[in-house]
Amino acid sequence: MSDRATSPAYTVPVTRLTVSILVHTLEQALAAAARAAEAGADLVEFRIDLFADNAARVIELVNRSALPCIITCRPTWEGGQYDGDEQARISLLEHVGLGETGGASGGRRPAYIDVELAAYQSSANLRQKIGLVVDHPGQVRPTDTGLILSSHDFKTRPADLYQRIEAMVAAPACRIVKVAWKARSLRDNLEAFDILRQKHKPAIALCMGEEGLASRVLAKKFGAFLTFAALDAGSGTAPGQPTVDQLKRLYRWDRIGPATRVYGVIGHPVGHSMSPAVHNAGFDAAGHDGVYLPMPIPPEYEHFKATVGSWVDTEGLHFRGASVTIPHKENLIRFVKDRGGMIEPLCESIGAANTLHVRDDGSLLAFNTDFAAALDAVCDAIRINRGDLRGKRVAVIGAGGAARAVVAGFASYGATVVIYNRTMEKAQALAAQFDGKNVRAAFGGGKVVAARLDKLCDSCCEIFINCTPIGMYPNINETPIPVTEMKSWGPETVVFDTIYNPIETRLLREAKAAGCVTVSGVDMFVYQAKEQFWEWTHAEAPLEVFRAVLAKKLARG
Ligand code: NAP
């Protein structure tokens, strides 16, 4: 049977991209199905929970749909919105497609109808009536409309998950097995992939919520029967559904296959990260068979270790690396150490790594692309080599994580670094750590000292680097440096703001007006992504693509 009986040229895709539509009116649902077809979906699911009072209209919906469809009338007791009579619901499904006379109005049948396992198990009437046709006494065959038996848990992974699956597999009328549950962590996705790999029957195994995104995007990699998408943000029918546009464009659905390599950004929170947009666009431009996902992991090391460890160890997942951000930069170093992997030496003295590479042989490498990115952003702006930084005077404002990488990087190349920070003790501790030591030996290590923040105006440095969040969105009217009081600033001064949102901070705007050379945090972001990209793909990063993606995302706010 084909999904699309009306189109002989139509070839059934391996994993159907399915847009789920909550039906309010006939015209709204038909328009949504037409948009789903335009957006590149293969199937639509009509959720008729609120539209189940008139079978003729449901049949009309099936007949006029731009795409083959699944009909689902989800009752409230399974997380849906239908609260009517159960017998009426079953009669409707039988009439629409799952009975012998289904699609009785003479038109198309739905390609599939979804019925909950619990309803199927508890009703002998239902088991007799739907999904199977009696051709001759004693001879049954499935109806043309395929029966999806489904089971959902919106709170957690059900303890009897595998019993539920076995029951579906054993049901003769069940064409497709569907299980969906709320992911407790990223690890639950791995169980969904296992279920898909068992292949007793075509299967749908999805994890709900932010942690379940991988099961939705990688459904195609593991040969799921389908994945669900929302037509627009906010119109999803289950927690964590990406939009069809995100699946198609951001996560490159059409390119995903069994060998696709998986990468991600590990953080908490991580939903705001620009890295998925940047790296996926980069993979696309470079023709790299990879997909890059947000990977939220709670802050504690035990979570990091268990989750990242299980992703690294899962054969066939091809998890090959991650960008690692707050609060996991220290955890990454500990994890790679625990596993006997390699840690870039400067990254150890910085105490933070931002990149994990899982090599094809399973060995691990942790490194830090932030300091190299800061160096390259400044050197490119003034057209010098890193070696030319020797003897330059650099003022770093802030003494947190970003400042640490910046101080280590510039001191490694022989610059003299002065750290200005609100909390003087932190500036002093940072200076003590990198003053002529703990840096790359090649250039001997520049002098690193701490100074009082209120002395910044008297600074005789030629490069100023903001490593505080002052001026970052939404506090865009703030500035860490009173530019009007910086009497020495002019064309020889370089002002670098590590903040990238907004692209031009108040500090950079005022520094530009004072004639200084300005460097945006976007450059640092682009360069740190470039180093990661090279390590993972051995392809030159498409920097203009990175910049364009960032500019577009930042323009949206
Ligand atoms: P962090 O570890 O929290 O450190 C923040 C630093 O800023 C601390 O030294 C803190 O001073 C200082 N600070 C914060 N608020 C202040 C205020 N109101 N007045 C004076 N000082 C203040 O943060 P981080 O990880 O280093 O990140 C800092 C910034 O770097 C971020 O906002 C981000 O925009 C930027 N960044 C950019 C990139 C990139 O790729 N472009 C990468 C990483 C970071 P105390 O020590 O006194 O608390």
Tens of pLDDT, residue by residue over 176-209, are 999 999 999 999 999 999 999 998 899 999 999 9
- Report the distance separating Cα 97 and Cα 241, nearest Å: 27
**CA of residue 399 to ligand 1 center, whole Å:** 7
pLDDT for position 13: 56
Q: Can you say how many angstroms the Cα of residue 387 is from the centroid of all Cα atoms in its chain?
A: 38
State the amino acid at position 284 in one-letter form.
D
Could you give the CA distance from residue 62 to residue 3 in angstroms, rounded to a whole number? 12
pLDDT for position 446: 83
Distance between Cα 158 and ligand 1 center (Å): 42
Residues 459-472, mean pLDDT to the nearest whole number: 97
Average pLDDT over residues 207-228: 98
Residue 87 has pLDDT above 60, yes or no: yes
The residues, ordered by sequence, that sit 6+ positions from 424 with a Cβ below 8 Å of its Cβ are 450, 452, 453
- Look up 357 and say whether it is catalytic: no
Whether residue 123 contacts residue 78, with contact meaning beta carbons closer than 8 Å, is answered with no
Q: Is 230 in the pocket of ligand 1 (CB under 6 A)?
A: no
Percent of the chain clearing pLDDT 70 (strictly above):
94
Q: Which residue has the tokens 């009082």?
A: 452
| Candidate from 87-96, 164-173, 206-215, 331-340 with smallest mean pLDDT | 87-96
pLDDT of residue 1: 38
> Is the dihedral angle over the CA atoms 244, 248, 252, 253 positive or is it negative?
positive
Which pLDDT band, with edges at 50, 70 and 90, does 9 fall under? very low
**203: which residues sit within 8 A by CB, 6+ positions away?**
165, 176, 177, 178, 179, 195, 196, 224, 225
- 400 in contact with ligand 1, CB cutoff 6 A: yes
pLDDT value of position 94:
86
The residue from 220, 279, 329, 530 that is catalytic is 329
For residues 255 and 470, give the distance between their C-alpha atoms in angstroms, rounded to a whole number. Answer: 41
User: What's the CA gap between 436 and 165, in Å, rounded?
Assistant: 63
Quick one: how many helices (H) and strands (E) in the chain?
A: 19, 22
Q: Is 403 in the pocket of ligand 1 (CB under 6 A)?
A: yes
The Cα 378–Cα 376 span in angstroms is: 5
In short, whether 59's Cβ falls inside 6 Å of ligand 1 is: no
Query: For residue 260, what pLDDT band results from cuts at 50, 70 and 90?
Result: very high
pLDDT of 273 strictly over 90: yes
How do residues 275-324 score in pLDDT, each as one tens digit?
999 999 999 999 999 999 999 999 999 999 999 999 999 999 999 999 99
Q: What is the predicted pLDDT for the residue at 105?
A: 54
Relative to beta strand 43-47, strand 69-72 is: parallel
Residue 362 has a pLDDT of 95
Catalytic pick among 178, 279, 318, 392 = 178
Residue 471 Cβ < 6 Å to ligand 1: no
Q: Is the CB of residue 521 below 6 angstroms from any atom belonging to ligand 1?
A: yes
Residue 305: what pLDDT? Answer: 98
- Atom 33, ligand 1: residue with shortest CA distance: 499
Distance 495 CA to ligand 1 centre (A): 16
Is pLDDT of 4 > 60? no
Q: Whose CA is nearest to atom 22 of ligand 1?
A: 468
Q: Averaged over 391-407, what is the pLDDT?
A: 95
Q: Is 426 in the pocket of ligand 1 (CB under 6 A)?
A: yes
Report the pLDDT averaged over residues 31-46.
97
* Closest Cα to atom 39 of ligand 1: 525
Out of 49, 153, 370, 497, which one is annotated catalytic? Answer: 370
Structure tokens at 344: 């870039």
Q: What is the mean pLDDT of residues 75-88?
A: 96
How far away, in angstroms, is 430 Cα from ligand 1 center? Answer: 14
Q: Which residues on adjacent β-strands are paired with residue 153? A: 181
- 401 CA → ligand 1 middle, Å: 7
For residue 467, name the pLDDT band (cuts at 50, 70, 90): very high
Q: Is the CB of 470 under 6 A from ligand 1?
A: yes
Distance separating alpha carbons of residues 352 and 147, to the nearest angstrom? 52
Tell which wins on pLDDT, 441 or 503. Answer: 503
Is residue 189 a contact partner of residue 209, using CB atoms and an 8 Å limit?
no
Residue 268 annotated to the active site: no
Peptide bond into 202 cis (omega under 30): no
Question: 56-76: string of b/e by CB count within 10 Å (b at 16+)?
Answer: ebbbebbeebbbbbbbbbbbe
Residue 455 confidence (pLDDT) above 60: yes
Give me the pLDDT at residue 59, please. 92
* Average confidence (pLDDT) over 478-504: 96
Does the pLDDT value for residue 137 go beyond 90?
no
Per-residue pLDDT at 7 exceeds 50: no
Q: Residue 236: is its pLDDT beyond 90? A: no
What rounded mean pLDDT belongs to the chain?
Answer: 93
Instruction: Give the residue from 408, 402, 466 showing the smallest Cα distance to 434.
Output: 408
pLDDT for 211 equals 98
Up-side HSE of residue 215: CA atoms within 13 Å toward CB? 34
**Section 399-405 average pLDDT:** 94
Give the mean pLDDT of 335-342.
98
Per-residue pLDDT, 465:
98
pLDDT > 90? residue 345: no
Q: What is the best residue among 375, 422, 503 to mutate for testing ligand 1's pocket, by most ligand atoms within 8 Å of CB?
A: 422
Segment among 50-64, 133-147, 391-405, 407-421 with least mean pLDDT: 133-147
Known active-site residue 152: yes
Task: Provide the pLDDT for residue 10.
Answer: 41
Closest residue by CA, ligand 1 atom 40: 525
Output 555 or 151, whichever has higher pLDDT.
151
Q: Domains for the chain: give ranges and CATH numbers.
A: 7-256 (3.20.20.70), 262-368+526-548 (3.40.50.10860), 371-519 (3.40.50.720)
Residue 135: the pLDDT is: 67
What SS3 state is found at 279? helix
Distance from C-alpha of 248 to C-alpha of 227, rounded to nearest angstrom: 12
Residue 81 has pLDDT above 70, yes or no: yes
Q: What average pLDDT score do residues 72-88 get?
A: 96
**pLDDT value at residue 100:** 57
pLDDT number for residue 371: 94
305 in active site: no
Q: Is 15 in the pocket of ligand 1 (CB under 6 A)?
A: no
Distance from Cα 464 to the centre of ligand 1, integer Å = 14
Distances in Å between the Cα of 334 and the Cα atoms of 303, 321, 340, 363, 406 are 13, 16, 10, 15, 21
505 Cβ closer than 6 Å to some ligand 1 atom: no
Give the contacts of 102 (CB within 8 A, at least 6 positions apart): 94, 95, 96, 109, 143, 144, 145
Whole-angstrom Cα distance, residue 243 to residue 114? 21
User: What would the mean pLDDT of 330-350 be, rounded to a whole number?
Assistant: 95
List all residues 6 or more positions away from 263 whose beta carbon is below 8 Å from its beta carbon: 279, 290, 291, 292, 293, 319, 320, 321, 322, 323, 536
Residue with the bigger pLDDT between 336 and 130: it is 336
Cis bond upstream, residue 480 (ω within 30): no
Contact 15, 42 (CB under 8 A): no
